[in-house]
Structure 1
Amino acid sequence: MLKLVVLISGTGSNLRALLDAIDDSRNSEQPIAAEIVAIGADTPKANLALAAERSIPTFLVQPGDYPDRAAWGDALLEEIQRWEPDVTILSGFMRLVPPRVVDALSPELLNTHPAYLPEFPGAHAVRDAIEAQVSETGATIMIVDNGVDTGPIIAQQRIPIHPEDTQESLHERIKIVERELLTETVRNLALGTINLKEIAA
């Protein structure tokens, strides 16, 4: 059973989709052999109620409770490692994790991104794609490194941009694909058909 820790900052919509996909697969011919053993957050505004609904343990590590970013990162790493996950997923986690965290966890540290990397890295990928007036963007699952959305790519898919799209409408369609890619990535990790160390090499 693949053990996952997932970190969120917001509503956790991708996380909910992953939880539902794992649950829905239990009685299928191809169950996803993965378990989310803990859900962490960097803000009390994050939707940790998702975890309470399913009796999943949670932890909250707020940057403001620590003297600097490095100390926050050390505390975050300690909480993650306490659960001994096989893979840690940043799912709408809106902070760059410090290098010490990346070095300790990567390549078993994954992130979702609402663009077809290396196009439109950074926190405003959806806005940037619309402002660039391109015809398509995408969604990406990647290994986290110490750059900004520069890690090795695991899976990605193109998504068309419609003339009437707003940031909100485009982002909603991207999220649908992100959820599918994330679920398939977890499934393949559990099956052993994705080897993160090979991808990162």
Structure 2
Amino acid sequence: MRLAVLASGSGTILDAICSAGIPVALVVADRPCGALDVAASHRVESELVERKSYAKDFDRDGYTAELIGVLRGWDIDLVAMAGFGTILGKDLFEAFPERILNTHPALLPSFPGWHAVDDALAYGVKVTGCTVHLATEEVDAGPILAQEAVPVLDDDTVETLHERIKGVERRLYIQTISEILERGSVR
């Protein structure tokens, strides 16, 4: 299976994936970001499919079609989102059915969305965690592939809790991706 990683940020998850020896065929970023530098440092091919607008005029379907074209052009079989900030249109999920992975810093279905760690602390939970799931058109709602709990400490801040979750996330995501690549299928 040929793996592509979609990224938008600093590339810490991408770095963990590459450092673990997982073969990444392509990294795609939606904006200039550190993940492109991480890809270069690991000698992984990358493409910038730049999102041109963050306003209401953003053409989600057009952007999604462009991304599908890039992924198909590289003969990608499996897609792993790694902090990818753009919500994609349904055509991507139809083009790669049950072959798009994502990770989330909470025990889904609790605390979906972009502010999961903040929301968990605000709610006062004693345990949160990390979820690896299949990405679907509905954000953070796809079938769960793996989860691991992380305790919430009394003196936790968003930053300290998120750092502990990230440690689990990197390990759990790598483990899940490795198992999928070994099997040759997601399930």
Q: Tell me which interval the TM-score lies in, with the shorter structure as reference length.
A: over 0.9
Report Cα offsets for 1:167-199 as digits up to 9, x if no partner: 11111111111111111112211221x842x4x
**Alignment-derived partner of residue 6 in structure 2:** 7
**Alignment-derived partner of residue 82 in structure 1:** 73
How many pairs are equivalent?
184
Aligned positions of 1:109-188 closer than 5 A: 109-188=100-179
Report Cα offsets for 1:116-145 as digits up to 9, x if no partner: 000000111011001001101110100011
Residues 111, 144 of structure 1: 8 Å contact kept = yes
Report Cα offsets for 1:62-116 as digits up to 9, x if no partner: 2217961111111011111111122100011012111111111120100010000
**Alignment-derived partner of residue 40 in structure 1:** 28
Runs (5+) with no aligned partner, structure 1: 23-33
- Whole-angstrom distance in 1 between the partners of 2:20 and 2:147: 19
- Whole-angstrom distance in 2 between the partners of 1:135 and 1:67: 39
State, as a whole percentage, how many aligned pairs show the same letter: 36
Aligned positions of 1:12-27 closer than 5 A: 12-22=11-21
- Residue number among 61, 68, 85 corresponding to 2:59 in the alignment: 68
Runs (5+) with no aligned partner, structure 2: none
Q: Which moved more, 1:5-14 or 1:42-51?
A: 42-51
Which one-letter code corresponds to 1:41 in the other structure?
Answer: A
**Alignment-derived partner of residue 53 in structure 1:** 41
Which one-letter code corresponds to 2:11 in the other structure?
Answer: G
- Whole-angstrom distance in 2 between the partners of 1:187 and 1:61: 26
- Whole-angstrom distance in 2 between the partners of 1:60 and 1:39: 9
TM-score (norm 1): 0.87
Report the aligned-residue RMSD.
1.6
TM-score (norm 2): 0.93
Secondary structure of the corresponding residue to residue 15 of structure 1: helix
- Whole-angstrom distance in 1 between the partners of 2:18 and 2:107: 24
C-alpha deviation, 1:17, in angstroms: 0.7
- Whole-angstrom distance in 2 between the partners of 1:130 and 1:67: 32
Residues 28, 48 of structure 2: 8 Å contact kept = yes
Which one-letter code corresponds to 2:27 in the other structure?
Answer: I
- Whole-angstrom distance in 2 between the partners of 1:115 and 1:190: 24
- Whole-angstrom distance in 2 between the partners of 1:161 and 1:12: 25
Secondary structure of the corresponding residue to residue 20 of structure 2: helix
C-alpha deviation, 1:45, in angstroms: 2.6
